[in-house]
Amino acid sequence: MAQLYFRYGAMNSGKSIEILKVAHNYEEQNKSVLIFTSAVDNRDEVGYVSSRVGMRSEATPIYEDTNVYAIVKRHPGKISCVLVDEVQFLHKKHIMQFTQIVDELNIPVMGFGLKNDFRNELFEGSQYMLLYADKIEEMKTICWFCERKATMNMRVDEQGKSIYSGEQIQIGGNDSYYPVCRKCYKNPPL
């Protein structure tokens, strides 16, 4: 029976490389997967899932008006799994489309993304994944500054100083964000 999975973690927890690994495992067995990613993420190029270790794969970009359910339903051939990167940037309607894919088409959907933003608030996509996912799993990484588990994402400016206000979405990597524990989030050793 298909399920909706949400795998979340702080920055640098290996979410994108995990998608690429899962896709590879299915494809190695001649099973078809569809890979999607938020069109908001343009770090590498829109329509690609890219990991920091240099691996990448083409993906269908999800824009605000994209109907993922319709794309999956009209896809020719059997689909074994739907994989979604950067799920935090999606909207409630996209998450509801994932539930339709699982419940009506009996295809598992695995969504990967951040749970909380740099202000330690939930993203819309993450909020609804937490509410509707059948299985939720944290992907762990360590704090940028100490040995504790990172549970938060710290936004930094060009000088490396922490920022706690501003627009929720600002695309960036290690130049803009650090994975940090709660203690270092509140009192960064910068």
CATH number of the domain encompassing residue 86: 3.40.50.300
Q: How confident is the model at residue 173 (pLDDT cuts 50, 70, 90)?
A: low
When divided into structural domains, the chain yields a total of 1
Give how far Cα 150 sits from Cα of 9, 50, 79, 143, Å. Answer: 8, 21, 35, 4
Higher pLDDT, 52 or 21: 21
Q: Is the pLDDT of residue 172 over 80?
A: no
Structure tokens at 163: 């920022």
Cα four-point dihedral sign 12, 117, 64, 81: positive
- Does 177 fall in a domain? no
| Percent of the chain residues topping a pLDDT of 70 | 94
Q: How confident is the model at residue 171 (pLDDT cuts 50, 70, 90)?
A: low
151-156 average pLDDT score: 92
- Does 72 fall in a domain? yes
10 Å CB burial of residue 54 (0-12, 13-18, 19+) is: exposed
- Does 150 fall in a domain? no
Helix (H) or strand (E) holding 155: strand 152-156
* Residue-number span of the structural domain to which 43 is assigned: 4-140
- Does 184 fall in a domain? no
- Does 89 fall in a domain? yes
| Percent of the chain residues topping a pLDDT of 90 | 71
- pTM for this structure? 0.91
DSSP 87: G
- Does 70 fall in a domain? yes
Contact 163, 156 (CB under 8 A): yes
Higher pLDDT, 134 or 46: 134
Higher pLDDT, 190 or 108: 108
Distance separating alpha carbons of residues 43 and 89, to the nearest angstrom: 14
Distance separating alpha carbons of residues 148 and 142, to the nearest angstrom: 6
Contact 118, 169 (CB under 8 A): no
Q: Which residue has the tokens 């995990």?
A: 18
- Does 158 fall in a domain? no
Structure tokens at 62: 């999800």
- Does 183 fall in a domain? no
Catalytic residues: 86
